[in-house]
Amino acid sequence: LALVNDPQRRPAPYRIAAEIRHARNADIARAVGGSELQMVLADDLISKIVVQSSRQSGLSAVYSELLDFDGCEIYALAQPLLLGMRFGDAMLSYETSTLIGLCDPSGRVRLNPPMDTPITADMRAIVIAEDDDTIKVTKPNPAHFRLSSIRAPQPAAAGPEQTLLLGWNRRGPMIARELAQYVQPGSLLTVAADTPGLEAELRALQIDGDRLHVELCSIDTAHRPSLESLDIPAYDRVIVLGYSDHMAAQSADTRTLVTLLHLRRIAEAAGRHIGVVSEMTDVRNRALSEVTRADDFVVSNKLVSLMLAQASENQHLAAIFDELLDEHGAEIYMRPIEDYVAIDAPVTFYTIAESARLRGEVAFGYSRPREGAADPRSMGGVVLNPPKSERLAYAGGDKVIV
């Protein structure tokens, strides 16, 4: 308010990136900041990434890579060489970058638009690239496509799910409401925590529809016998939240780590894998958490900081992530590679991209974890924006990111 209404303000528009904790304040912030404001709804952002990561192991690494200045970044820029092309054809016109959407003159972002969308002179291309000077339009070589390896999509049936949420903070209600957008009728969310006033908070929780039932178990989530009483292996997935509203960051993370270590021992005793995604507050505890072997970690403070930094440089970034994280938008999925291509022979990423294009999707990376492979940035085998002509052998368990 002080910046945009200062009588002595500069004539040029500002680019203001602001963290908003409560969504109810967003409309006021928009009214004051207008087009000069890029808002980051911090709790909403983290809640959505936690839910999506719990359903797709490795997804938090994808979001971190898109936000981290050390990784691939998202650019919105004019690409005159695409003029007159359809989006689906233009998508295959980059070797070292990935076209994921379009931005119209009003600033409206459309990720993964219909493949027959014509690209006009007033549009900006939304591109994932290592750097803006690596974005080059090229003509694909037919020799890079192995069309015989492309597989037709197969429908997959979905049934009710059981999710266990260990721990609680102010993002808990958002996570419950977000989860309800994805699950099938008859699904269950069990909240296990010993936070004061939690029973009354859950009674007041309003969730649209009747797909998700929420129940409470009041236990100490850092106590192994209490955890064992929940029959954790029976759940489809486990989410661990820090008690960050009632403890200092380090204390909350310490309790989270104890819970994760117990979960690891319970999984080992049961002889099965338990899918776990955990929220961490302090990025310095990320290395310590590796020993717990959880599938995914969402480091909340780091992600919010990265989002603010990127939003201050890219005026379209907030809208792009709103689209990526909206259950009605163009979301990110990590799907089995063998659903897209046969894995009996090496294929190029051009072939994978073409298989995705035929389904109306944009492929922009893969997950290819290998035992003993160097992983200095803890990406878990996730690679975004690979060179499309690179020919690789894939195996069962590898995934394509679309």
**pLDDT tens readout for residues 248-290:** 888 888 899 899 999 999 999 999 888 888 888 877 766 665 6
What is the pLDDT confidence band of residue 304, given thresholds at 50, 70 and 90?
confident
Task: Identify the CA nearest to 217 among candidates 233, 237, 232, 236.
Answer: 232
What is the predicted pLDDT for the residue at 402?
94
What is the pLDDT confidence band of residue 141, given thresholds at 50, 70 and 90?
confident
Measured torsion, CA atoms of residues 328, 334, 338, 344, in degrees rounded to the nearest 10:
150
Alpha-carbon span 212 to 257, nearest angstrom: 28
If you average pLDDT over residues 13-31, what whole number do you get?
Answer: 73
Give the helix, strand, coil percentages of the chain, each rounded to 5: 35, 20, 45
Query: pLDDT tens, 157-215?
Result: 789 999 999 999 999 999 999 999 999 999 999 999 999 999 999 999 999 888 999 99
Statement: residue 376 has pLDDT above 60: no
- Rounded to the nearest integer, the mean pLDDT of the chain is 87
Q: Cβ(79)–Cβ(101) under 8 Å?
A: no
What is the predicted pLDDT for the residue at 294?
61
Statement: residue 351 has pLDDT above 90: yes
What is the predicted pLDDT for the residue at 246?
86
Q: Cβ(307)–Cβ(20) under 8 Å?
A: no
If you average pLDDT over residues 60-71, what whole number do you get?
Answer: 83
If you average pLDDT over residues 234-240, what whole number do you get?
Answer: 95
Highest mean pLDDT, choosing among 19-28, 54-63, 369-378: 54-63
Statement: residue 14 has pLDDT above 80: no
What is the pLDDT confidence band of residue 377, given thresholds at 50, 70 and 90?
low
What is the predicted pLDDT for the residue at 5?
65
What is the predicted pLDDT for the residue at 221?
95
What is the pLDDT confidence band of residue 334, given thresholds at 50, 70 and 90?
very high
Q: What is the DSSP annotation of 230-293?
A: T-GGGSSEEEE---TTTS-HHHHHHHHHHHHHHHHHHHHHHTS---EEEEES-GGGHHHHGGGT
Statement: residue 68 has pLDDT above 80: yes
| Domains of the chain, earliest start first | 73-149 (3.30.70), 162-305 (3.40.50.720), 334-401 (no CATH)
What is the pLDDT confidence band of residue 10, given thresholds at 50, 70 and 90?
confident
Task: Give me the amino acid identity at 82.
Answer: L
Alpha-carbon span 291 to 314, nearest angstrom: 36
What is the predicted pLDDT for the residue at 344?
92
If you average pLDDT over residues 239-251, what whole number do you get?
Answer: 89
Query: pLDDT tens, 83-138?
Result: 999 999 999 999 999 999 999 988 889 999 999 999 999 999 999 999 888 999 99
What is the pLDDT confidence band of residue 330, given thresholds at 50, 70 and 90?
confident
Alpha-carbon span 330 to 312, nearest angstrom: 23
Please state which of the ranges 18-22, 119-123, 178-182, 374-378 shows the lowest mean pLDDT. 374-378
